[in-house]
Amino acid sequence: MKIPYSLVKIKSILSHPVLFLQQLTRVRYGADRWSDKSSLSSEWDSRTILIAGLIPEGSRVLEFGAANLVLKDYLPDGCVYQPSDIVSRSEDTIVCDLNRCMPNLEGTYTHVVFSGVLEYINDIPRLLDHIGGKTQYILASYSTTDVVSDYVTRKRNGWVNHYSDEKIVRMFRDGGFVLESRQAWKYQAIYVFVKMGDLCT
């Protein structure tokens, strides 16, 4: 009796644990995922609003992973807002895949925001090195391995790195930023880092 191809494929996958894990955790990556509006959960809006409340009036703000541009609507008076994302979200969006290239940034910003972004970045130190001279503050969310330790869950979310709280803080310190504050949002931490030494203007 001829065995159906689907059963052969399943048997092959189960006989190779690594392949099985890849199939189990397979998600769409990059622009293919984030150009789909259904990938942008409204549950993230409360995180963005929380971050907006940490930014003072009159700030110059650059947001990576701008998504639905929620941050723009909740910034205090007098703020200048610049969105950036892997796909265009508005006419003025700086379109850049941070895993492929570093953005060409003109001028400086008081605050750079990474909300729901860092888990998808292959080389965070390289990113910090690139933007380090462009901002005084970095506000970032991150789901640490202290809170979400299950590797399969992290891979299912499409996350490409897996750091503890201690490692994140040390990584930013090595990049020239020290931790000013930290607070919880659901299963993530919201960090505020300030540039060490002379702040850029």
Q: What is the pLDDT of residue 43?
A: 78
pLDDT at 62 over 70: yes
**pLDDT mean over 47-74:** 94
- 28-195: CATH number: 3.40.50.150
Give the burial string for 74-101 (b: 16+ CB within 10 Å, else e). Answer: ebeeebebbbbbbbebeeebbebebeee
CB 114 within 8 A of CB 85: no
Tens digits of residue pLDDT in 78-120: 999 999 998 877 788 899 999 988 888 888 999 999 999 999 9
Instruction: Supply the mean pLDDT for the chain.
Output: 83
Tens digits of residue pLDDT in 13-60: 445 554 444 444 444 455 554 444 544 446 779 999 999 999 999 999
Q: What is the pLDDT of residue 23?
A: 45
- Give residue limits of the domains in the chain: 28-195
